[in-house]
Copies of this chain bind each other. A is one copy, B any other.
Amino acid sequence: MNVVALAGGVGGAKLASGLSRAVDAEQLTVIVNTADDFTLYGLQISPDLDTVMYTLAGLANPDTGWGMHGDTWQAIDMLKNYGMEPWFHLGDRDLATHLLRTQWIDEGIPLSVVTRQLARRLKVTSTILPMSDDPVHTLVDSDRGPLPFQEYFVRYQWQPVVQALVFEGASEAEPAPTMLRRLETADTIVICPSNPYLSIDPILSLRGVHDVLLNATAPIIAVSPIVGGEAVKGPAAKLMKELGIEASAVEVARHYAEFLNGFVLDSRDAALRPQIEAMGMGVLVTNTIMQSLDDRARLACEVISFADQLRPEKLGGCKLDA
């Protein structure tokens, strides 16, 4: 049972950690958005990769979803003494990740290999795969002009009004080694409840990914990041409105409809089921909010079982149901 999940930051990381319990952790590959990556103080920072890695390693800060639990802020505090106004959160322990990644990237090691090394050393047995070893950068066209992603997202707390999104470098970037093959040979493909436009679209924009998903034999299931017309976390709903799209789970389903076999809808949105079924996909209605570790595993388990219903021959469902 090979499961491939596409993920961005916190929401994606939570479902990925559930999936790593619902199937054997080694059978899970998480393809992670890297269009949010950026350089700060000379350091190579990959926020989504770190969030997924820390979450799978059990090191994530449970209050924020990002960063390491129990981290300290001495370096940032000293930057403030230097008169800086640091807007990006760099914990002292978290800094070690950026230092090591930067060192290895400077040595010419590809990001996918760097990520594998970091994750292994944190005893993560699932595969965390950055979407590409090549740089891709989300540029947010906004009412404050074009903004690099982290300035939009962290510095300005996603308050600028978005007019368009550009994934710079995406047309030249190669998907990470093994990524397309992992999608082709997956038994289940899960699109995590990450921001469709900011987190998942950069992955889909890479050469070959869309075609592989269209031709995939595995059921492809998306979990809605929009519940009751609001984003569970982050700017998804606000962004949809700014792009002229109704902030509704229906529109998320429509966004992926071309290759989607199943859609996981929150119970509060149960009334939307017929509209989504009418797009020709299966719908699972359940509680999609992941507050506890058990919530993650339960939702992941339901997603795995749902996938099993959507394919002709059953592969056996969630490990936790056994």
State how many angstroms separate the Cβ of A74 from the closest Cβ of chain B.
4
How many copies of this chain sit in the oligomeric assembly?
Answer: 2
Would A92 and B75 count as touching, CB distance under 8 A? yes
A100 interface contact, C-beta 8 A: yes
A157 in the interface, Cβ–Cβ < 8 Å? no
User: Known contacts being A82-B118, A96-B82, is A42 close to B77, with CB within 8 Å?
Assistant: no
A106-B42 contact, Cβ under 8 Å, with A78-B97, A83-B121, A93-B78: yes
Q: Does A81 contact B (CB under 8 A)?
A: yes
A71: interface (CB < 8 Å):
yes
A66 to B52, CA, bound (A): 37
Q: Give Cα A95–Cα B121 distance, bound, in whole angstroms.
A: 23
Give 1 or 0 for each of A18-42: 1 = CB within 8 Å of chain B CB.
Answer: 0000000000000000000001111
Count residues of chain A with CB under 8 A from any CB of chain B. 35
Q: Which residues of B contact A96 (CB under 8 A)?
A: 75-79, 81-82
Which residues of the other chain, B, contact A74 by a CB distance below 8 angstroms?
Answer: 71-72, 74, 91-93, 95
Q: A82-B96, A82-B118, A92-B95 are in contact. List 19 more A-B contacts (CB 8 A).
A: A41-B102, A41-B103, A42-B42, A42-B44, A42-B102, A43-B102, A74-B91, A74-B92, A74-B93, A74-B95, A76-B96, A77-B96, A78-B96, A79-B100, A81-B96, A81-B122, A82-B121, A83-B121, A95-B95
